[in-house]
């Protein structure tokens, strides 16, 4: 699974609240790729919850 954050991220923090093992938000969300394995379900949940659809899961 490959997770990227688009520039449209508004830094709302929702992804981190849903899946804090993978997402960390300062000004914008950052992805801790080494933690994706085993957290796929919450990554998908965070992608679905992002208000600006900035999380791309491939
Ligand atoms: S939920 Fe979306 S807009 Fe909010 S911080 Fe995460 S990637 Fe950015």
Residue extents of the structural domains in the chain: 3-57
Question: What are the distances in angstroms from CA 13 to CA 3, 40?
Answer: 16, 18
Contact 31, 3 (CB under 8 A): yes
**What pLDDT is attached to residue 42?**
98
Q: Indicate which residue's Cα is closest to atom 2 of ligand 1.
A: 50
CA-nearest residue for atom 5, ligand 1, is: 11
pLDDT at 14: 98
Q: Pick one of 3.90.1170.40, 3.40.605.10, 3.90.1310.10, 3.30.70.20 as the CATH number of 3-57.
A: 3.30.70.20
**pLDDT reported for residue 38:** 98
pTM given for the model: 0.96
Q: What is the pLDDT of residue 4?
A: 98
Shortest-distance atom of ligand 1 to CA 6: 7
Which atom of ligand 1 lies nearest, measured to the CA of 10?
A: 3
Please give the pLDDT value at position 17: 98
Task: Write out pLDDT tens, residues 6-54.
Answer: 999 999 999 999 999 999 999 999 999 999 999 999 999 999 999 999 9
């Amino acid at each position: 699974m490959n997770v990227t954050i688009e520039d449209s991220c508004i830094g709302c923090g929702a992804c981190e609240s849903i899946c804090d093992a993978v997402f960390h938000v300062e000004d914008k969300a950052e992805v801790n790729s080494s933690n994706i394995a085993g957290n796929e379900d919450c990554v998908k949940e965070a992608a679905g919850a992002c208000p600006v659809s900035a999380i791309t899961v491939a």
